[in-house]
Amino acid sequence: QVQLVESGGGSVQAVGSLRLSCAVSGRTFSSYLMGWFRQAPGKEREFVAAIRWSAVNTYNTYYADSVKGRFTISRDNAKNTVYLQMNSLRPEDTAVYYCAAAMLWAGLGTEYKYWGQGTQVTVSS
């Protein structure tokens, strides 16, 4: 069983920064593609960023347009952890942030099999 545990959420003022972490249990972390999602009150969950191994032994990253240039996803396979560095935060970034793991990349249609419990991020103006 794979377990994902997010941490690093909190309250911050606009233009501030936070770094979220997602620790993943299991010995096959490097084989998973990892994603971050968020859900604001009254809204549907939305894709934020993803990172996956590419055929040339490097990682490809993907971002929602709303966070491109401000957020950075990265991973440390030795620590079984994926990160989301969030800079220039805005009040509209306020949401519960979830990390998720999947085996097969299908763009926005990727089916994430494992999910964390979420961590709250609140950005005040």
**Per-residue pLDDT tens over the stretch 79-121:** 999 999 999 999 999 999 999 999 888 888 899 999 999 999 9
**Per-residue pLDDT tens over the stretch 29-55:** 888 999 999 999 999 999 999 999 887
**Per-residue pLDDT tens over the stretch 66-89:** 999 999 999 998 999 999 999 999
Model pLDDT, residue 57: 67
The secondary structure of residue 108, as a DSSP letter, is: B
DSSP for 60-106? Answer: EEEE-TTTTTTEEEEEEGGGTEEEEEE-S--GGG-EEEEEEEESS-B
The secondary structure of residue 14, as a DSSP letter, is: T
**Per-residue pLDDT tens over the stretch 8-21:** 999 999 999 999 99
Which token pair is 108?
Answer: 């926005």
